[in-house]
Each structure stands twice: as structure tokens, then as C-alpha cells.
Copies of this chain bind each other. A is one copy, B any other.
Amino acid sequence: MTLVVQKYGGSSLKNTERICAVADRVALAAKGRAVVVVVSAMGDSTDVLVALAQDVTPSPQEREIDMLLATGEQVSASLLAMALHDRGLGAVSLTGGQAGIRTTASFSTARIRDVQPDRIRHELDAGRIPIVTGFQGVESDTGWSDVTTLGRGGSDATAVALAAALGAPCEIYTDVAGIYSTDPRLVPEARKLDSITYEEMLELAQYGAQVMMPRSVELAQLWHVPLQVRSSYGVDEGTQIGGTMEHANRVAGIAHQRDVAKVTFVGLVDRPGVAQAIFDALSAHGAHADMIVQNIGHGGRTDLSFTVAQADLPRALAAAAGVRDAVDARDVTAKSGLAKVSVVGAGLLSSLEYASLTFGTLGDLGINIDMISTSGIRITCVIDGSRVEDAVRGLHAAFRLDGDVAWQTSA
């Protein structure tokens, strides 16, 4: 019998009524296939647990946070197992540890080391549906198997890792119908994509699409796990994520991120080791730089710019102040209230027409481009935050993403 891993997010399990609806859906899927289910915690229950911890101490220990938060998925898993029993199906809830999810011992941000799915296989062989708590595992470093959690996007990571270990495809159920050509809240004409490559999904996720975390997409790509993102409400097929570059020369979607700030080291001495000194200082201050641009230098001096999340700007500036003399920069400037808008598609840079249409569209709208960065399948422009909606709508229309056939180059 074919096997599928289905993952249901917190919004799909926000109350007992929704848990029963998910049970109906799993029961239907279990008619033709063997099913392994991965669940998140119910609705906002993780926030409630975090608030309890904050009530006790402003700086809870991460090991204890993991023990606390792991209960959230245990509640939803056991309730879903009960609901399936009530529908006459054998089901058995399993903690991350019972499901064989073994991780590093870095509490709250653990990484999956390996999956030992003996118990899951045992339950599948007995005809039961394993309901696995997402977002958690047990560490395999100390010998004590302490409970760990996987950090943001952890439940998706659990589902993809299990699918990889079991050689099964993975369905991610969420409260949206799939991956869209851009944010439907900004552009009502946004189109749901039938399919998208891992690389495109990664770029969309990294540059602002919120449906999936880059981490799980990378994991799926690495282990060749076919992914499907779909709604837990309707019967629509959602978006298939997989393959690799099979759709050359087309734009998949427009992503955007707000609350971006830019820091520039002006007139930096242009010698090896300078960039490393800057990014080591940033890292030590806990500021994460994500778009780094350096132009060619003049007279032994150059300018280096990078973006950080608006919230990280104070930390980034503190880091810059500490390292400025060491790198002999003439000045450090900062600009906040920016946004990123990204055009993502397979083989974009194989034709300069994409870049040309991107920059031309923004220019026609009178939107100034502050920084540009590209990958093989992405063009990102940093612009003024107040113009982000205009930019997204303009680019979405220019690349004809609202129609059945997207804009294509002659290539």
C-alpha cells in the first residue's frame, strides 16, 4: 500500500471541532493509503505556554522551555488519535521521541540528526495510523534522550524528515490553498501555482513568502521528498513542490518583505579580512545580515552595504560602532523603513529581459531602487517601504502572473 505523510498546522487544529474535521480528512485519506500524520499544537496554545513561562521568569532556560512547549503537540496528537478511534480507525499518538526523531542537544533550535522509525513501522504494519507530535524530538547527545524542540517551522521539518525516512511524499495542510504568485492580500489577482520547483520555493520563502520555512523546503530538496502545500478546509489540490528546474524561463512569483533597514560602511579600506571582521561583529551582536552588496573600490577604498531586519538595526549599529575603527571606515550610515521586493523564477538570469522588465517596471512607477541583489532564479530590489504594494502589484501585472500564461522571454 502506498504511504503518505500528512502534516496539519495549528490553524487547522485550533479547536476540537477542527480536530474532528481533520480526523474526517485523515479517515478519508486512509481509505486508499497508509497515512502517517504530523500535528502542530492547537491554535495559539504555544503562545499561551510561552506566556506562562514569561510569568515565571523573564529568562526561562531553553531545556525547560522545550519540556513545556512539547506538551502542546502532545495534546493535539492525543485528541486527534481519540477522534480517529471515534471514527472506527486504529490510531496511536506518538511523541517525537517515540517516533524516532533524534536531534542535536541545542534546545529550542535543535536540528534533526536522524529518524529511527521502528515504532512508526510497527504501528503501520499493525494497520494503525501513527499521529506524531511535530516540532519536537529527543536529543541523542547526552544519552538521556531529553526532549528538544526544533524552532520555527519545526513541525514541517518533522513531516519532511519522516517522509524522507519512510520514502513517502509529504502533504502540508494549512489555512491557505497553496503557494500564490504573490501575496493575495496585496494583489487580489494573485494566482495559485499548480507546481513550483524547490529552488523557486526556497527563494520565495527566503524573500518573504510565509507559507513554508526555507528549512523544510531545503530538507525536502535534499532528500527528494515530493511536497504538496494545500488547504485543510477545501478539496483543492494545492501546490506541488518538487522536481528541479523543469520549467525554465518563467516567473513563478513575486515575494516581498517589509521592515528592512540598510547599513553602509562608507570608504572602507579595501583589503582581505575586512568583510569578515564586520560580519563577525554583527554575528556577535546577534544581528543577522541578509543582503550584502559591495561595489568595486576606488583608490583602495570601497563601500559595503547590507540589510538587516528593522528590529535588528540597533544591534547592527552597535556592532558597526565597535568594528568601525578596526576596518578604518570613513563613516557608517543607516537607512530604515525599507522593503524588499523579489521576482522569483527558474532560469531568470539566463535572459537579461527579466532584469530589464523588473527595473523598467519599478522605474515607470517612479520607485527608486536602493540596492539590487540576484541569484540564478531571483532578482531582489530594496526600495522605500511606502511603495512596496505598488511595486508588488506592478511587477505581478508586468510579468502577467494573473493570467493563465505568464510572461516569457523568447529564449
Residue on B with the closest CB to A66?
A: B78
A411 to B87: give the CA distance in the assembly, Å: 67
User: Cβ of A74 < 8 Å from any Cβ of B?
Assistant: yes
* Contacts A49-B75, A71-B75; A56 near B93 (Cβ below 8 A): no
Contact with B along A61-83 (1 / 0, CB 8 A): 10111011011001101110111
Q: Give me 19 A-to-B residue pairs in the complex whose CB atoms sit less than 8 angstroms apart, sorted by A's number.
A: A16-B52, A16-B55, A19-B56, A49-B75, A53-B79, A56-B79, A56-B82, A56-B83, A56-B86, A61-B85, A64-B82, A64-B93, A65-B78, A65-B82, A67-B93, A68-B79, A71-B71, A71-B75, A95-B147
User: Cβ of A276 < 8 Å from any Cβ of B?
Assistant: no
* Contacts A16-B55, A57-B85; A78 near B64 (Cβ below 8 A): yes
Contacts of A20 in B (CB 8 A): 56
Interface of A toward B, CB cutoff 8 Å: 16, 19-20, 49, 52-53, 55-57, 59-61, 63-65, 67-68, 70-71, 74-75, 77-79, 81-83, 85-86, 92-93, 95, 98, 119, 122, 144-147
| Contact yes or no, A57 B86, CB < 8 A | yes
| Contact yes or no, B59 A86, CB < 8 A | yes
| Contact yes or no, B56 A16, CB < 8 A | yes
A91 to B147: give the CA distance in the assembly, Å: 15
Residue on B with the closest CB to A147?
A: B95
| Contact yes or no, A64 B52, CB < 8 A | no
| Main secondary structure on A side of the interface with B | helix
Contacts of A68 in B (CB 8 A): 74-75, 78-79, 82
A147 to B78: give the CA distance in the assembly, Å: 11
Contacts of A86 in B (CB 8 A): 56-57, 59
A79 to B61: give the CA distance in the assembly, Å: 10
Contacts of A92 in B (CB 8 A): 63
Whole-angstrom distance between the Cβ of A407 and the nearest chain B Cβ? 49
A245 to B92: give the CA distance in the assembly, Å: 49
Residue on B with the closest CB to A72?
A: B71
Contacts of A122 in B (CB 8 A): 144
Contacts of A95 in B (CB 8 A): 67, 147
| Contact yes or no, A67 B56, CB < 8 A | no
A106 to B83: give the CA distance in the assembly, Å: 21
Please name 11 further chain A to chain B contacts, defined as beta carbons within 8 Å, in addition to the given A60-B82, A68-B82, A71-B71, sorted by A numbering: A16-B55, A52-B75, A56-B79, A56-B82, A56-B86, A57-B86, A59-B86, A63-B92, A64-B85, A68-B74, A98-B145
Residue on B with the closest CB to A17?
A: B55
A85 to B62: give the CA distance in the assembly, Å: 11
Contacts of A85 in B (CB 8 A): 57, 60-61, 64
Contacts of A60 in B (CB 8 A): 82, 85
Contacts of A71 in B (CB 8 A): 71, 74-75
User: Which of B70, B78, B98 touches A74 (beta carbons < 8 Å)?
Assistant: B70
Whole-angstrom distance between the Cβ of A370 and the nearest chain B Cβ? 43
A176 to B142: give the CA distance in the assembly, Å: 41
Contacts of A81 in B (CB 8 A): 61, 64, 67
A52 to B77: give the CA distance in the assembly, Å: 12
Whole-angstrom distance between the Cβ of A37 and the nearest chain B Cβ? 13
* Contacts A16-B56, A52-B16, A144-B119; A82 near B61 (Cβ below 8 A): yes
Contacts of A74 in B (CB 8 A): 67-68, 70-71, 74
Whole-angstrom distance between the Cβ of A93 and the nearest chain B Cβ? 5
